Amino acid sequence: MKLAGKDFIYVVLQILLFFAFLLDMELFSFRNSSFLEFLSVLTGSIGLGLVIIAFFQLNKNLSPFPTPKKYARLLTGGIFKLIRHPIYTGILFIVFSIAVFQGSGYRLFISILLMILFHFKTLYEEKKLAEKFPEYETYKKNTGKFLPKIKTKS
Protein backbone atom coordinates (compact mmCIF):
# COMPACT_ATOMS: atom_id res chain seq x y z
CA MET A 1 0.00 0.00 0.00
CA LYS A 2 1.62 3.18 -1.17
CA LEU A 3 0.08 6.09 0.69
CA ALA A 4 -0.27 9.50 -0.89
CA GLY A 5 -0.33 12.86 0.84
CA LYS A 6 -4.12 12.91 0.53
CA ASP A 7 -4.34 9.75 2.65
CA PHE A 8 -2.58 11.49 5.52
CA ILE A 9 -4.55 14.71 5.09
CA TYR A 10 -7.89 12.88 5.37
CA VAL A 11 -6.79 10.92 8.43
CA VAL A 12 -5.33 13.99 10.18
CA LEU A 13 -8.50 16.00 9.50
CA GLN A 14 -10.59 13.12 10.83
CA ILE A 15 -8.51 12.94 14.02
CA LEU A 16 -8.71 16.72 14.48
CA LEU A 17 -12.50 16.63 14.12
CA PHE A 18 -12.71 13.77 16.63
CA PHE A 19 -10.70 15.83 19.13
CA ALA A 20 -12.81 18.92 18.39
CA PHE A 21 -15.91 16.80 19.03
CA LEU A 22 -14.56 15.80 22.44
CA LEU A 23 -14.16 19.42 23.55
CA ASP A 24 -16.86 20.37 26.01
CA MET A 25 -18.15 23.53 24.40
CA GLU A 26 -21.38 25.10 25.60
CA LEU A 27 -21.90 26.96 22.33
CA PHE A 28 -25.30 26.82 20.67
CA SER A 29 -26.92 24.54 23.24
CA PHE A 30 -30.51 23.52 22.68
CA ARG A 31 -33.19 21.68 24.59
CA ASN A 32 -34.54 18.46 23.26
CA SER A 33 -37.41 16.18 24.16
CA SER A 34 -37.23 12.79 25.82
CA PHE A 35 -38.39 11.35 22.48
CA LEU A 36 -35.32 12.85 20.75
CA GLU A 37 -33.13 11.49 23.54
CA PHE A 38 -34.67 8.04 22.99
CA LEU A 39 -34.07 8.27 19.22
CA SER A 40 -30.50 9.37 19.90
CA VAL A 41 -29.81 6.33 22.08
CA LEU A 42 -31.39 4.08 19.45
CA THR A 43 -29.46 5.51 16.49
CA GLY A 44 -26.24 5.67 18.51
CA SER A 45 -26.64 1.99 19.38
CA ILE A 46 -27.25 1.12 15.74
CA GLY A 47 -24.15 3.11 14.83
CA LEU A 48 -22.04 1.29 17.41
CA GLY A 49 -23.34 -2.03 16.08
CA LEU A 50 -22.41 -1.07 12.52
CA VAL A 51 -18.89 -0.10 13.56
CA ILE A 52 -18.34 -3.33 15.51
CA ILE A 53 -19.73 -5.59 12.76
CA ALA A 54 -17.72 -3.83 10.03
CA PHE A 55 -14.58 -3.86 12.19
CA PHE A 56 -14.73 -7.64 12.53
CA GLN A 57 -15.66 -8.21 8.89
CA LEU A 58 -12.83 -6.00 7.63
CA ASN A 59 -10.33 -7.77 9.89
CA LYS A 60 -6.89 -7.40 8.23
CA ASN A 61 -8.29 -5.04 5.57
CA LEU A 62 -9.00 -2.42 8.26
CA SER A 63 -7.06 0.82 7.87
CA PRO A 64 -7.76 4.47 8.66
CA PHE A 65 -6.29 5.38 5.27
CA PRO A 66 -8.45 5.61 2.14
CA THR A 67 -5.97 3.73 -0.06
CA PRO A 68 -6.59 -0.03 0.23
CA LYS A 69 -3.83 -2.20 1.61
CA LYS A 70 -1.58 -4.04 -0.85
CA TYR A 71 -3.14 -7.46 -0.18
CA ALA A 72 -6.65 -6.20 0.54
CA ARG A 73 -9.66 -7.93 -0.94
CA LEU A 74 -12.98 -6.37 -1.83
CA LEU A 75 -15.67 -7.22 0.70
CA THR A 76 -19.17 -7.38 -0.77
CA GLY A 77 -20.85 -9.70 1.72
CA GLY A 78 -22.16 -9.29 5.25
CA ILE A 79 -22.80 -5.68 6.21
CA PHE A 80 -20.93 -4.62 3.06
CA LYS A 81 -23.72 -6.14 0.97
CA LEU A 82 -25.97 -3.36 2.30
CA ILE A 83 -23.59 -0.41 2.78
CA ARG A 84 -20.23 0.38 1.16
CA HIS A 85 -18.94 2.39 4.14
CA PRO A 86 -20.55 1.01 7.32
CA ILE A 87 -17.84 2.32 9.66
CA TYR A 88 -18.33 5.89 8.45
CA THR A 89 -22.10 5.43 8.72
CA GLY A 90 -21.75 4.06 12.24
CA ILE A 91 -19.46 6.88 13.33
CA LEU A 92 -21.88 9.46 11.91
CA PHE A 93 -24.82 7.82 13.69
CA ILE A 94 -22.84 7.90 16.95
CA VAL A 95 -21.64 11.51 16.77
CA PHE A 96 -25.00 12.91 15.62
CA SER A 97 -26.71 10.90 18.37
CA ILE A 98 -24.40 12.24 21.06
CA ALA A 99 -24.83 15.81 19.79
CA VAL A 100 -28.63 15.57 19.80
CA PHE A 101 -28.80 13.71 23.12
CA GLN A 102 -26.67 16.37 24.79
CA GLY A 103 -28.41 19.24 23.02
CA SER A 104 -25.05 20.47 21.76
CA GLY A 105 -25.18 22.70 18.71
CA TYR A 106 -21.38 22.78 18.76
CA ARG A 107 -21.15 18.98 18.51
CA LEU A 108 -23.87 18.99 15.88
CA PHE A 109 -21.74 21.41 13.84
CA ILE A 110 -18.65 19.18 14.23
CA SER A 111 -20.79 16.18 13.20
CA ILE A 112 -21.79 17.99 10.02
CA LEU A 113 -18.14 18.78 9.29
CA LEU A 114 -17.28 15.11 9.84
CA MET A 115 -20.06 14.08 7.45
CA ILE A 116 -18.66 16.45 4.80
CA LEU A 117 -15.15 15.08 5.38
CA PHE A 118 -16.42 11.48 5.03
CA HIS A 119 -18.14 12.41 1.78
CA PHE A 120 -14.89 13.67 0.25
CA LYS A 121 -12.80 10.92 1.84
CA THR A 122 -15.07 8.27 0.31
CA LEU A 123 -14.86 9.89 -3.14
CA TYR A 124 -11.08 9.52 -2.96
CA GLU A 125 -11.28 6.06 -1.38
CA GLU A 126 -13.69 4.78 -4.01
CA LYS A 127 -11.42 6.02 -6.79
CA LYS A 128 -8.60 3.98 -5.24
CA LEU A 129 -10.87 0.95 -4.77
CA ALA A 130 -12.00 1.12 -8.42
CA GLU A 131 -8.35 1.20 -9.53
CA LYS A 132 -7.54 -1.88 -7.45
CA PHE A 133 -10.75 -3.85 -8.00
CA PRO A 134 -12.32 -3.79 -11.51
CA GLU A 135 -15.58 -5.17 -10.07
CA TYR A 136 -15.94 -2.19 -7.71
CA GLU A 137 -18.03 -0.13 -10.16
CA THR A 138 -20.69 -2.87 -10.32
CA TYR A 139 -20.66 -3.18 -6.54
CA LYS A 140 -20.99 0.61 -6.26
CA LYS A 141 -24.05 0.66 -8.55
CA ASN A 142 -25.84 -1.96 -6.46
CA THR A 143 -24.90 -0.90 -2.93
CA GLY A 144 -25.63 2.29 -1.01
CA LYS A 145 -22.77 4.51 0.08
CA PHE A 146 -23.82 5.30 3.66
CA LEU A 147 -27.32 3.80 3.79
CA PRO A 148 -28.81 0.77 2.04
CA LYS A 149 -30.18 1.44 -1.43
CA ILE A 150 -33.91 1.22 -1.75
CA LYS A 151 -34.61 -1.11 -4.64
CA THR A 152 -37.66 -0.15 -6.64
CA LYS A 153 -39.50 -2.35 -9.08
CA SER A 154 -39.18 -0.97 -12.59
**Per-residue model confidence as pLDDT tens digits over 41-70:** 999 999 999 999 999 999 999 999 999 998
Q: What is the CATH number of the domain that holds 104?
A: 1.20.120.1630
Domain for residue 85, yes or no? yes
Domain for residue 127, yes or no? yes
Q: Which pTM value belongs to this model? A: 0.91
- At 19 the pLDDT is 95
Domain for residue 4, yes or no? no
Domain for residue 67, yes or no? no
Domain for residue 152, yes or no? no
Contact at 8 Å (CB) between 104 and 25? yes
Q: In terms of residue numbers, what domain contains 117?
A: 31-60+74-147
- At 154 the pLDDT is 63
How many structural domains are present in the chain? Answer: 1
Domain for residue 69, yes or no? no
- At 26 the pLDDT is 76
Domain for residue 19, yes or no? no
Domain for residue 25, yes or no? no
